[in-house]
């Protein structure tokens, strides 16, 4: 067993917009993964070009797609007062593969997690761990270069969603 300690930059951005406005903005800018298409590509042993074209058809403005989301606020509301919270699992297989081929352990961190919640103070928050700080622990310049590009994509997405 190996234990690696590293520092992660945790980003938290607030907005005066409602939870619904922020989540709607995110969902309008980020594409949605289609698992049926992915399964067909796997079953057909598709070429890279076919996969690339399929992924490009699913990504949104920032070359990202939502693989899934968890309406955690609804579940947590069953245990107490009403809560609004949504966890998005987002990424792009073409981008992730650039890092995965360097070190498959990046799969622990990609796709990325983006969490949106209402903190009962009239504000909505978006929070995530900065990809370059998560993936920087691999000490691989190729992985870091891709992770820094993901930093930029997330920053742009979040900035647009909260404005």
For residue 7, list its beta bridge partners: none
With helix as H, strand as E and coil as C, how does 14-66 read? EECCCHHHHHHHHHHHCEECCHHHHHHHHHCCCCHHHHHHHHHHHCCCCCCEE
Give the C-alpha separation, 4 to 83, whole Å: 35
Question: Would you put residue 139 in left (φ > 0), alpha (ψ -120 to 50) or beta?
Answer: left
**Architecture of domain 10-162 in CATH?**
2-Layer Sandwich (3.30)
Confidence grade of residue 119 (pLDDT, cut at 50, 70, 90): confident
Higher-confidence residue of 59 and 73: namely: 59
Give the C-alpha separation, 99 to 86, whole Å: 27
Task: Give the pLDDT confidence score for residue 81 in this predicted structure.
Answer: 79
Per 3-state DSSP, the chain is made up of helix, strand and coil in percentages (nearest 5) of 50, 20, 30
Other C-beta atoms closer than 10 Å to the C-beta of 136 total: 18
Task: Give the pLDDT confidence score for residue 154 in this predicted structure.
Answer: 97
Confidence grade of residue 122 (pLDDT, cut at 50, 70, 90): confident
Task: Give the pLDDT confidence score for residue 46 in this predicted structure.
Answer: 95
Domain boundaries defined on the chain:
10-162
């Amino acid at each position: 067993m190996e234990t690696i300690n590293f520092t992660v930059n945790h980003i938290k951005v607030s907005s005066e917009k409602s939870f619904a406005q922020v989540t709607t903005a995110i969902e309008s800018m980020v594409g949605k993964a289609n698992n049926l298409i992915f399964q067909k590509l796997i079953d057909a042993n598709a070429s890279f070009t076919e996969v690339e074209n399929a992924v490009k058809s699913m990504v949104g403005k920032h070359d990202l797609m939502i693989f899934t989301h968890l309406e955690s606020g609804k579940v947590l509301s069953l245990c107490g007062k009403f809560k609004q919270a949504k966890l998005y699992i987002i990424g792009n297989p073409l981008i992730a593969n650039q890092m995965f081929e360097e070190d498959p352990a990046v799969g622990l961190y990609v796709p990325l997690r983006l969490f949106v919640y209402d903190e009962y103070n009239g504000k909505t928050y978006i929070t995530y761990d900065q990809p370059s700080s998560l993936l920087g622990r691999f000490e691989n310049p190729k992985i870091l270069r891709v992770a820094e590009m993901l930093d930029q994509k997330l920053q742009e997405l979040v900035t647009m969603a909260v404005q």
